[in-house]
Chains A and B, each alone.
Chain A
Amino acid sequence: MTMVEIRIRAEISRDGLSGPTWFALVLLISWLILPLIPLAVWSISRSWFFPDITPSAYSLRAWRYVFSSTSEVLPALGVTTLIALCATLLSAIIGLPAGRALGLYQFRGKSAVELLILAPTIVPGIAVALGLHVVFLNLGLAGSFLGVLIVHLIPTLPYMVLVMAGVFANYNPEIEAQARSLGADPFQTFYYVTLPAILPGLLIGSLFTFLVSWSQYILTLLIGGGRVVTLPLLLFNFASAGRNDITGAISMIYILPGVVLLLLGARHLTGRNTAAESLRQI
């Protein structure tokens, strides 16, 4: 490496930032954090009228309401969690084999299959759910937990398949053959050999899949018909009704899994194309 090169390299990835750059960076980060702040403050305010910059009185009224047995929030939290858990489990069971096929093998029509699996992550859910509605109505699935769960699989399954395809692309199936030759049956091979190898990827994929289901709004609204009430539906209703304190409290609960996920998986997430791309769903 020549001296010129060293100097230029140092300049491109210079240690430290100049004053204006720091300013721009701080401005950008503040802008990204800013919308979350009024939500947190509203959740603990009692009265906060125009033109007060900060609330004139604080209370935990909104939080008490959220956790009281009469509010709809706790049941909605339960329904949202249960749908997301079931959608994740089903996506893992259905998506894992497909991810294996896409990650390990080359075959004719592979790019078409990949495109078909990618498509539901890009085509807006409203276009699909409007068409499905009649059939779900006829099958008695509209307005039911099961119906909402099934329709959530449309965005969650492709994501699981794509993550698992990435995991299996770095997986060596030879060790399975070795286990089999040593007398392990297919179940034992999967449980003791395959699963431990893919587990970290499977967990990250499951966490994101959970979050994709957790964030669905229009699919739940259309297929659930207002009878399956999840947290985002409740959040929307309280926000349109102008109950800012309760809206704030529900928002804080609603963002919690995502923040936890980010804390857990921040290292895995950084710089991972697929992870960032799938997060658009949320």
Chain B
Amino acid sequence: MLDRWKIPLLLSPALLLIVGLFLGGLFLGLIGSLGYMPQLGREELSFDAYRNILTSESFCLSFLLTFYISFTSTVIASALAIIAALILRRHFIGRSVINFLFQINLTVPHLVGAVGILYLFSQSGFFARLAYEFELIARPSDFPALIYDPLAIGIILQYVWKEVPFIGMILLANMQTFGQDYETAARSLGASRWQSFRYVLLPLLTPGLLAAALIVFAFTFGAYEIPALLGQNYPAALPVLAYQSFTDVDLNARPEALAMGMIIAALSAVMIVGYARLARRYVRT
């Protein structure tokens, strides 16, 4: 009798809080996005907010921009993380120091990284000054716009900076679990170094790499402060646009802001399903 109730009792405080705050917040966002605003006397539900944003140019441009930022950052960070992990798993002098330096920005908040990128890459930043020193440019405005720019290069640089160690640490941990037996076997059967990486190590790493990439994609798709600091005003990244609509004096914009929040949530839900599937497959192998 006692045992039957033990597990639900242990779980209930945490689950109540997560269901109440997290699922509750998502549910309220959903009904709000459908136009349910009892404080304004509106209780009928409609898809107007979704219809409005899906036909508005600013939303569509924002969505495409955000998707492009997330996709590009995730791909570049994953590629660099694979290279970093391949180097860092080897034994060399100073490995522990290098390892520490590699991890250092895992704990540095995103916002600090964004400000650092701003001071490095803005048109009066460190690299612009270096370019001036080497007489590549004559005035700040000659330096290519990498911040507040249409290609969102500053934002992508920030995400890559922050996520390479994150993905890299996960890959390193995976490599440690596999050991090197498979690669050794492949090599002794005549595979080249490239072949043993491409056909043995990479397939082994893929589930972990994809799981990490999904997490990074979902995060970069919903992050506010980095594009708010480094991005251009129009089109703004989706979370920035959602915040702007939410704080708009016109309360009619609220359902639209909530609808954008729902679209961000839906995209991350797809990522979670993918992550759960990968995690399960990963455990089985």
Binding site for B on A (CB under 8 A): 2, 4-5, 8-9, 11-17, 21, 24-25, 28-29, 31-39, 42, 50-53, 94-95, 97-98, 100-102, 105, 107, 111, 113, 115-120, 122-135, 138, 150-151, 153-154, 157-158, 161, 211, 214-215, 217-218, 221-222, 232, 235-236, 239-240, 244, 247, 251, 254-255, 257-259, 261-262, 266, 269-273, 276-277, 279-280, 282
Contact = CB atoms under 8 A, between A and B. Distances in A.
Contact of B29 (A100, A130, A157): A130
Contacts of B91: 13-16
Given A9-B184, A217-B111, A276-B106, A25 B98 contact: yes
Interface string B40-52: 0000000000000
Nearest to A150: B21
B92 to A, nearest CB: 5
Contact of A53 (B133, B164, B187, B243): B133
B128 interface: yes
A8 B184 contact: yes
Contacts of B113: 35
Contact of B108 (A8, A221, A258): A258
A214 B109 contact: yes
A258 B218 CA distance: 23
B18 A158 contact: yes
A161 B87 contact: no
B261 interface: yes
A130 B257 contact: yes
B35 interface: no
A187 to B, nearest CB: 17
Contacts of A12: 90, 180, 183-184, 187
Contacts of A257: 107
Contacts of A262: 100, 103-104, 106-107
B103 A269 contact: yes
Contact of B24 (A97, A132, A261): A132
Given A11-B187, A28-B80, 10 more contacts: A31-B161, A32-B164, A97-B13, A130-B32, A131-B25, A132-B21, A135-B28, A150-B21, A280-B166, A280-B216
B21 A151 contact: yes
6 contacts: A127-B264, A130-B246, A138-B39, A232-B109, A235-B111, A259-B108
Contact of B25 (A50, A128, A261, A282): A128
A259 B104 contact: yes
